[in-house]
Amino acid sequence: MKKGSYEFACARLQQMIDAAKPKSADKSGGALDAWRQAASYAAYLLGHGHDSTIYCQASLGKALVEVGSYYEAVQLLSAVLAQTETDNLRCHNSVELMHQCLARAHQGLGDDQKGYEHWLRAAQISQEKRQLVHGTTVYCYHQAARALARMLRFDEALKLFKLVYQIDRELFGDHIHTAYASRDLAICLNHKRRFKRSLFFWREASALMQQFLQTDDCVRRKVERSHLWTLNKVRQERYAERQARLSTLGSAAA
């Protein structure tokens, strides 16, 4: 391709990218078509290993996930990630986004194990690029913890939920993010039957959601019900402990 023609083609590609970016929040398919055209043109013009091509393909993968085309997203992004590994481009700026999109796609397909693996990798990349106490890092760790909980791997999930809660409290303080972290930690503790400990987090989640969510919000109502349910479990445990002590004292006296 002649120099003038190549420069014109590159300018055309940039126009396509600039036109696609504002459509990325559109879940009706507008972004999908725009990124599909840009990715195809970038691959033709620059090759599959070029930064612009990888960026367009990652954006296309995100658009596919947004419209629920999970299988196509997995096929595309897995191939692009493999290419970045082959070309030693593991630190490419789009790799983190591709792991997040693959996590969502695998979860959409019902594969929480794969979802967890990609959320964890996205979190690790974010931590390396930014730091542990960062909004993107904690978001990815939170999603990884949720995937573990869905797989009933509560011991592993509990460690991550504790980390997420600590980071959210440090980053945001009393905030809706902290409320969700507190809620998920409480749920995990309930599954471990650690009701006394979980009660603290239910109380906090309920108080924060009363502050940030409307009274009729379904999440808030569910948290309030779970708070009361856990409180009742703690009362039952305390009653059983008292009865056990009284029985022991009665046996000793006899």
Q: What is the CATH number of the domain that holds 53?
A: 1.25.40
Classify residue 122: in a domain, yes or no. no
Classify residue 74: in a domain, yes or no. yes
Number of domains observed in the structure of the chain: 1
Classify residue 204: in a domain, yes or no. no
Each residue of 208-240: pLDDT tens digit? 999 999 988 999 999 999 999 999 999 999 998
Confidence of residue 7 (pLDDT cuts 50, 70, 90): confident
Q: Kindly compute the dihedral angle of the four CA atoms of residues 20, 24, 29, 33, in this order, to the nearest 10 degrees.
A: 30
Q: Kindly compute the dihedral angle of the four CA atoms of residues 171, 142, 127, 121, in this order, to the nearest 10 degrees.
A: -170
- If we measure between CA atoms, which residue out of 162, 100, 161, 172 comes closest to residue 134? 172
Q: Which of 63-67, 220-224, 241-245 has the lowest mean pLDDT?
A: 241-245
Q: Domain range for residue 61? A: 1-101
Classify residue 96: in a domain, yes or no. yes
CA triplet 31, 19, 91: central angle to 5 degrees? 75
Tokens (6 digits) for 230? 């856990």
Structure confidence at residue 59 (pLDDT) = 94
The full DSSP string for the chain is --HHHHHHHHHHHHHHHHHHGGGGG-TTTHHHHHHHHHHHHHHHHH-TTSHHHHHHHHHHHHHHHHTT-HHHHHHHHHHHHHHHHHTT-TT-HHHHHHHHHHHHHHHHTT-HHHHHHHHHHHHHHHHHHS-SSSHHHHHHHHHHHHHHHHTT-HHHHHHHHHHHHHHHHHHHSSSHHHHHHHHHHHHHHHHTT-HHHHHHHHHHHHHHHHHHS-TT-HHHHHHHHHHHHHHHHHHHHHHHHHHHHHHHHHHHH-
Each residue of 185-196: pLDDT tens digit? 999 999 999 999
Classify residue 53: in a domain, yes or no. yes
Classify residue 9: in a domain, yes or no. yes
Predicted structure pTM score? 0.91
Question: Is pLDDT larger for residue 6 or for residue 170?
Answer: 170
Looking at every residue in the chain, the average pLDDT score rounds to 91
Classify residue 159: in a domain, yes or no. no
Classify residue 52: in a domain, yes or no. yes
Each residue of 119-161: pLDDT tens digit? 999 999 999 999 999 999 999 999 999 999 999 999 999 999 9
- If we measure between CA atoms, which residue out of 140, 149, 93, 142 comes closest to residue 121? 140
